[in-house]
Every structure is written in structure tokens, then in C-alpha cells.
Amino acid sequence: MFSCYIFDCDGVLFDSLQANIEFYNALLSAFKKPLVSDTQTQYIHMATAEESVAYLFRGDPRVDDAQRLRLSIDYHRFIPYMKLALGAREVLKILKEKDKRLAICTNRSTSMQAVLEYFDLASLFDCVVTSLDVANPKPDPEGLLLVLKTLSLQPEEAVYVGDSILDQQASRAARIPFAAYQCTELDADYTLETFWQILSLQPYQKGVPHAHYSRN
């Protein structure tokens, strides 16, 4: 098995789509702007909060006011809209029992710790890197490289579980094996349909074709 398992937050550990929509709808409503559209949903689900507000308010002179309001909104009231991935708690505990290191690398910012505490998961993770911890969030590899540095690991000792093109690009740039979670269109070393399949991931071995270990 790998020595370290690094997870994206939104779309992997949690189904947080509705929570994010509710959060940005509250912000947009405060400025009497139209609610999040279907075409905007995918962007705000992957980008940082700062990037998402800039996107939703592009061309609007009130964008700076919106950014300030974003920082003042208490995200706790939106956390109940989030759903922990099926099997995630059990798999994380099994990995910890096997003395594996667990980490998060996410473009989420101030709300990450509150989410982990709400779902009673904070104690399971050895390292949590958010967009606030880096100068360049995903798709830049800075966050993943910070995880490796913090845990004193080499790229091949870890695997990154993500669900977006940003995760794929960051993983590739950091030279960390990439497992795509419920997203078959990504260029991944492993494709996971369920959280339980994480327990069967095997690092690549020299001289063995990657396809031998593919979970496609």
C-alpha cells in the first residue's frame, strides 16, 4: 500500500455541491443578483472562494464588497448540507489502523477545519493544506508539495484522490500518482467507483506496466 493518502475535499470526501450553492446564493442574494446558474455551478465547485466570487461578480463594481462579505459569512450554517462520502469514515479509520498517513489538499479555505470538526474527522488527518496555506492553489502543485514536505515523503510514496481536472493537473505536476474518484474522463493512474476501492490501490512497481494496476 501507499504510505500516504491525500484527499481532495469537495467531490471526494464530501458531496458538498448543495452546500456551496447555498453559500454563494446567500452572497448573491445580499446584492440582489441572480442565483447560481447551472453553467456557474461547476466552476464554483472547483475554484477557491476568492476566485468564485470574482467569477460570479465579474464586471460588477461591487466585487470588493462581495469579497469582504464572503469573509464575514459564517459557513457553519451551510455544513449540514454536506454529505460524507459513503464508506469514507470506515476507510479512513482502516488506513489509520494500518499506520498510513492521511492528508487533505483542497482549494477550500476558512471552512475546512469547521467541516472536519462537524463530521468528527479532524483527528484522523496528519496534514491539512487549504488555499490559505499556499500562494498558488490548484492546479498549481504547491499544496501537494507542501503535504510531501510536511510529512517528509517522496511523491511515489503518496497517492492523491481527486475528482477534477484541477486535481489531475496538480497531481501530475507534483509527480504524485493520481486516483480519479467517480470521474472516468480524467487522465488517471487509477479510477475509483467507490471509497472502498482505495484500500486495494497498489503503488506501481518497476518493470510492471501501469495498466496492470489500473482500476479502470
Mean pLDDT in residue range 25-50: 94
> Which residues lie closer than 8 Å to 131 by C-beta, 6 or more apart?
48, 49, 50, 106, 107, 108, 109, 137, 143
Query: In the structure, what pLDDT confidence band is assigned to residue 215 with cuts at 50, 70 and 90?
Result: very low
Specify the higher pLDDT residue, 6 or 210: 6
Residues 94 and 192 in one domain: yes
- pLDDT for 45 equals 85
Domain that holds residue 71: 17-80
* Residue environment code for 83-121, b if the CB has 16+ CB neighbours within 10 A, otherwise e: ebbeebbebbeebbeeebbbbbbbbbbebbeebbeebeb
Where a domain ends, among 37, 54, 80? 80
Closest-CA residue to 169 (of 206, 142, 133, 192)? 142
Residues 93 and 141 in one domain: yes
Model pLDDT for residues 56-85, shown as the tens digit of each residue: 999 999 999 999 999 999 999 999 999 999
pLDDT of 214 above 70: no
Taken in order 47, 49, 53, 58, the sign of the CA dihedral is: negative
**CATH number of the CATH domain containing 148:** 3.40.50.1000
Q: How far apart are CA 162 and CA 11, in angstroms?
A: 8
Residues 46 and 27 in one domain: yes
Q: How many domains does the chain have?
A: 2
Model pLDDT for residues 112-165, shown as the tens digit of each residue: 999 999 999 999 999 999 999 999 999 999 999 999 999 999 999 999 999 999
Where a domain ends, among 42, 65, 80? 80
- pLDDT for 136 equals 97
Length of the chain: 216
pLDDT of 209 above 50: no
